[in-house]
Structure 1
Amino acid sequence: MGTHYRLVSQLDHCFDLLVNNLNNLAALLKTAQLPCWMLGCETEATSRERLLFALLDLWYLEGQDGRVTRSYPGLVVCNEQIWAQLGAVNDAKVAFSGAIDAIRRESPDLLLDARQNLVTRHPKLHAHLTAEGLARLHLKQSWRQIPGCTIPLRQVRFSWYSSGRSIRRISYKEAVYRLEQMNVEAPHIKIQLQKLASIPTATPLAQVQSQAPLMRANLFFTDQQAGLPDRQAMNIAMPLFILSDQATLPPFNIPSIAPPEKRTRAVRSDAQLEDEPFLPSIRVFKYREY
């Protein structure tokens, strides 16, 4: 009982801290009215509205895939006070993530109820969410960090990256296990098990997962410091806060609202995996033989 109370109390405290810090950040932004731009907005006024919505969007939409997070690419100039509050928000996000991890490690059966009870701690928020059908908390959107930059920027170039893949080695034994968890009487599974049986057990294999398209920002710095690169690339799922005493955004391009439908990057000539999957049902590829 003591562990239960400690874990839930810690989670409640961290969530309260996160919501309060987000509200404080939103209030500072409303007061400061500093320049901002959000993808898909035609005016600065609508960009400011979307910026505030993005900061406070911690919820599932009806029917939303739990693996998918909504993306809010944008730029916003901030002063020292807003920058400090942004740091407090990101710290609160880390603490909230840590509280969730603690429950998962020590009492995973508590997580569902504890997560559902969080929104009731803020009556106004709960009433609004219930009316909008958004009463489920989206953990990934809650703890994802908001990016920031303190180095003066010469320009920002946005581009969609839609060719991302995660590749991990998979053993012969694991591949057999994963196929056997499927319907082994199905003809296509039988064929794949036979293909596995025809190769040495030491054959290197890789499992590939395509990643959702994401926006990438290339930051070009004004003053190149000794030993440091003059640019940096980062993935932008949330608006980029730029600490600056200049009340203007750096020059930037406006990308398309939606990612391109087809691959825009050339296939690397040194690709190590074969073009076609060896075991398509579990997305496993063999390595090329050279």
Structure 2
Amino acid sequence: MLFLLSSSSTSPLLSLCRKIPLKTLTTKTLSHLHSTMSINLKTHAFAGNPLRSTTPKPESLFSPSSAFETLKSRLLENALLPSSPIFKVLPFRKGRPLATSTRPTGDSPPIWHLGWFNLGDFKGFLANSEFQLTENSLVYLGSRSEDDVVYWGIDVSEDSSLVPQFGAKHFCFVELRTLMVATDWTDEQAMSDLAIAGHARALLEWHNISRFCGHCGEKTVPMEAGRRKQCSNALCKKRIYPRVDPVVIMLVIDRENDRALLSRQSRFVPRMWSCLAGFIEVSILVGFRIVSSLLEILVK
């Protein structure tokens, strides 16, 4: 028997176990399961970040190391260097990305866009604020060499004076879940922006909670354009990388597809219910990968 088991921390007493006899796993069945899994992965709200598909070679102008050196030069000299890529910056405040929306026309809902700024324009916004912009303030998100653009994220939560300045330009900081609900999931560009924003928030949040070394307690400093951190203690120099927390979310439905199983936690507001979701054990994650690999082999 092949067991597909997933559990949720939202409801610890509830688990879903589906048993599939091996003899029923025909090529047609496996092909259907594999295609269903692929579709689900492609339509996930924060999956498919186009900036993470490839990592440029170190000598490339779009690599983290080269882009970081160019960034330092541009911040010091305040000039666009010859043959340097365009730098775009996405500000965050308390985990919320900067966004703007177009005015709705007729019955059409407004269309939102992330609040990307060219580096020069962003520096102009900071001119009248107390925020100190340095090369270590920005985190490398990725690049699009075909567009000659390198993307950066920055957390401006410490300076509240920037909020009215952005508001005067019709920008505001919006919760990611709000953007997810407002997104047309058939719009590839909007889904790409949502994935970029999700990746940027996770990386900036990791920087905020990794300010000190867990080994010796000294402060950590960003390295490799913010892709990792390192302990400032010369006797330690421990390298710290972004953590990966495997999670799962699912919608359990009956055979007629007309009823769904939802759950709630005691901290939820009244009348709020949720799909089953939560962190999963690494052993379960490895099991899913083994099953997925087995299905791919059998389908081929």
TM-score (norm 2): 0.27
Q: Which has the higher contact order (CA 8 A, sep 6+)?
A: 1
* Structure with greater helix share of residues: 1
* Structure with greater strand share of residues: 2
